[in-house]
Amino acid sequence: MLYYIWAPLLAVISFVFQRSPSNSINAIDCLQSSTDSLEAVVDCLDKYTVAADYYNQESYTLSQPNSTELTAFTDLVSSLLYVDDNCTSLHVPDSLSQHFRISLLSDRGENKSYCLLHEYTSQNGYYEKGWGFMAVPASRTPSTDVALHFSAPHPAYDLNTPQQAASLFTRTGARSLLITGRSRLALRNSTSCVHPSSNKTTYYVTDPVHDDNELFNVASKIIYKWQQAQGGCPSATCAFIQMHGKGVSTCPTDQMFLSSGLARSSSSWYTDDVDRPIKRLKAKLQQVFPSWNVSMPSDSPCSLTATENIFGRFINGIDAAHVCTTGSNASLATGEFIHIEQAAVSRAAESYGNWTKALKDTFGIERS
Ligand SMILES: *[C@@H]1O[C@H](CO)[C@@H](O)[C@H](O)[C@H]1NC(C)=O
Ligand SMILES: *[C@@H]1O[C@H](CO)[C@@H](O)[C@H](O)[C@H]1NC(C)=O
Ligand SMILES: *[C@@H]1O[C@H](CO)[C@@H](O)[C@H](O)[C@H]1NC(C)=O
Ligand SMILES: *[C@@H]1O[C@H](CO)[C@@H](O)[C@H](O)[C@H]1NC(C)=O
Ligand SMILES: *[C@@H]1O[C@H](CO)[C@@H](O)[C@H](O)[C@H]1NC(C)=O
Ligand SMILES: *[C@@H]1O[C@H](CO)[C@@H](O)[C@H](O)[C@H]1NC(C)=O
Ligand SMILES: *[C@@H]1O[C@H](CO)[C@@H](O)[C@H](O)[C@H]1NC(C)=O
Ligand SMILES: *[C@@H]1O[C@H](CO)[C@@H](O)[C@H](O)[C@H]1NC(C)=O
């Protein structure tokens, strides 16, 4: 009740704040204050995620890249993937250097080093740009061809997925970690990219899973192209794993729901005798979480099948120019894309150990 009395006043205050041009810019010091683990850095940065309803049309437009910045960001993401013992020699172009930095992080807990691309300025407590955070190992390990790519597209909404993705990235010795810097609700305007096919609520402009202008989606495609340039993404050793979280009332009997972005009518793709990473991962996850329901579309009527996920569509053979409007199908899908919807218990820190075991068993990663 009190909320309703104060809500209009709060709305006016936040309106004034959003529009005020004099808001000071502050440094984000997640790397100065917590150099002990990548997970701690990600946890610190998570608080700067541009919040729901933060943008208006004008501030959103101002925070999007112009063509120079877009090219520079794209090049930087690509260069980051090629880092091999030379992280600190990566140069951030002038057009980005006011906002982004490349840093070498020595994770003492993991006894490994990572090269990070991160935004270091905030306004009103949030990233000024919100284009995202990326990490790769600081040096390449010649002895392994395992190439896992973790991402978290819905921070501040699918809670704890950035922390979980960071933890699984370090524990499995994965190739890349990508986390967007904005809530999917940061600008609550319908995207002109994907229009939901069912009578679901609309998708918004700042949702990188359904809007192709979000930098998370741009970076995802660069990571995919890099993997292609390494000779592709073999089923035995490689996958693009996108971490999501679902609410308690959505598909409540599935603690985990895995999908590759195909429509329910293609469910036989999940049960045929072709080896696919998603099938192995499902089986291994079920082994380490024996009392849970670990499901795929072939096991459960859950509707979260990711058919409208634009990076999923791209990986599954749809041209980048058509990902907003065209779904993939069973004859195009490779199985490289693994979309995981999870109950809170599956995203919790207590589950990281079992998760790691399942991932290592799925992709033949050496125990250390
Ligand atoms: C870092 O080293 C790799 C491997 O030698 C090379 O391909 C890449 O261009 C180098 N990057 C920079 C920024 O010097
Ligand atoms: C884009 O913005 C950057 C940084 O403010 C600026 O240096 C550059 O000139 C702009 N480029 C274009 C094409 O507007
Ligand atoms: C950390 O790595 C270094 C170099 O590979 C190794 O000598 C050292 O024993 C490792 N420490 C731990 C605690 O694993
Ligand atoms: C957001 O909605 C406003 C008001 O309906 C409209 O003027 C604006 O063009 C929309 N912006 C985007 C990016 O769709
Ligand atoms: C559409 O919404 C109505 C009312 O919420 C619901 O009964 C119906 O099952 C929905 N249809 C689909 C295809 O989701
Ligand atoms: C697993 O699914 C079955 C069938 O839907 C359900 O009865 C059971 O309660 C579920 N188990 C858990 C732990 O949610
Ligand atoms: C995780 O694995 C351990 C060791 O096998 C097991 O005791 C525990 O029950 C598992 N956790 C869950 C939630 O299944
Ligand atoms: C799969 O999708 C592609 C691209 O949209 C289309 O050309 C092809 O006919 C589709 N195949 C099937 C079996 O639907």
* Residue whose CA lies nearest to ligand 1 atom number 2: 84
Pocket of ligand 5 (CB under 6 A): 198-199
Residue 23 belongs to some domain of the structure: no
- In a shared domain, residues 304 and 346: yes
| Pair (77, 184) in one structural domain | yes
Q: What is the mean pLDDT of residues 293-315?
A: 96
For residues 242 and 188, membership in a common domain is answered with no
Mean pLDDT rounded to a whole number for the chain: 92
Residue-level pLDDT at 317: 96
The amino acid sitting at 91 is H
37 and 104 in a single domain? The answer is yes
Predicted confidence at residue 16, as pLDDT, reads 46
Residue 286 Cβ inside 6 Å of ligand 6? The answer reads: no
Tell me which residue has its CA closest to atom 9 in ligand 7. 289
- Check whether residue 327 and residue 251 sit in a common domain: yes
Q: Is residue 161 part of a domain?
A: no
Q: Is residue 203 over pLDDT 80?
A: yes
Distance 102 CA to ligand 7 centre (A): 38
Q: Are residues 79 and 90 in the same domain?
A: yes
Ligand 1 atom nearest the C-alpha of 140 is: 4
Indicate whether residue 289 lines ligand 7 (CB < 6 A). yes
What ligand is nearest to the CA atom of residue 213? 4
Closest by Cα among 135, 132, 100, 137 to 119: 100
43 within domain boundaries? yes
Could you tell me if residue 166 is inside a domain?
no
Whole-number Å distance, alpha carbon 202 to ligand 5 midpoint, is 14
* Ligand 8 atom with least separation from CA of 326: 5
Supply 274's token pair: 């072709």
* Residues 92 and 15 sit within 8 Å (Cβ to Cβ): no
The pair of structure tokens assigned to 322 is 């058509």
pLDDT grade, residue 198 (50/70/90)?
confident
Q: How many domains does the chain have?
A: 2
223 with 246, same domain: the answer is no
Whether residues 77 and 226 fall in one domain: yes
Q: Which ligand is nearest to the CA of 190?
A: 4
The DSSP-derived string for 301-322 is: --S---TT-HHHHHHTT--GGG
- Looking at the structure, tell me whether residues 311 and 364 fall in a common domain: yes
Report the largest interatomic distance among the alpha carbons of the chain, rounded to a whole angstrom. Answer: 63
Atom 5 (ligand 2) nearest CA: 95
pTM of the model: 0.91
Nearest C-alpha to atom 13 of ligand 6 is from which residue? 292
Q: How far is the CA of 208 from the centre of ligand 7 (A)?
A: 33
Q: Is residue 151 part of a domain?
A: no
Pair 225, 263 in one domain: no
Question: Pick from 243, 226, 246, 216: which is nearest to 310 by CA?
Answer: 216
Among 189, 214, 232, residue at a domain's last position: 232
Distance CA 274, CA 296 (A): 15
Q: Per the domain annotation, does 192 fall within a domain? A: yes
3-class DSSP assignment, residue 194: coil
Q: Could you identify the atom of ligand 4 that is nearest to the CA of residue 61? A: 13
User: Do 222 and 317 sit in the same domain of this protein?
Assistant: no
Domain boundary among 232, 260, 293: 232
Per-residue pLDDT tens over the stretch 52-103: 999 999 999 999 999 999 999 999 999 999 999 999 999 999 999 999 999 9
Pocket of ligand 1 contains residue 88 by CB under 6 Å: no
- Smallest CA separation from ligand 1 atom 7, residue: 82
pLDDT for 125-183, tens place per residue?
Answer: 999 999 999 999 999 987 678 999 999 999 999 999 999 999 999 999 999 999 999 99
Indicate whether 241 pLDDT > 80.
yes
262 within some domain: yes
Cβ neighbours of residue 189 closer than 8 Å, sequence gap 6 or more: 57, 60, 204, 205
Nearest CA-CA partner of 118 in 48, 63, 183:
48
Question: Could you tell me the residue range of the domain that residue 325 belongs to?
Answer: 233-368
User: 324-341 as b/e, with b when 16 or more CB fall inside 10 Å?
Assistant: beebbbbeebbbbbbbbb
229 lines ligand 1 (CB under 6 A): no
Ligand 1 site-directed mutation target among 82, 102, 113, 226, most atoms within 8 Å of CB: 82
Answer yes or no: do 117 and 101 share one domain. yes
**Nearest-atom index, ligand 2, CA of 94:** 7
In a domain, 246, yes or no: yes
> What is the mean predicted confidence (pLDDT) over 109-122?
92
* Encoded tokens for 88: 């600190």
Where are the strands (E) in the chain, listed by range? 25-27, 100-107, 112-119, 121-123, 126-127, 133-137, 147-152, 176-179, 238-243, 256-259, 294-295, 337-342
Chain segment 9-39, per-residue pLDDT in tens: 445 445 445 544 457 899 999 997 556 799 9
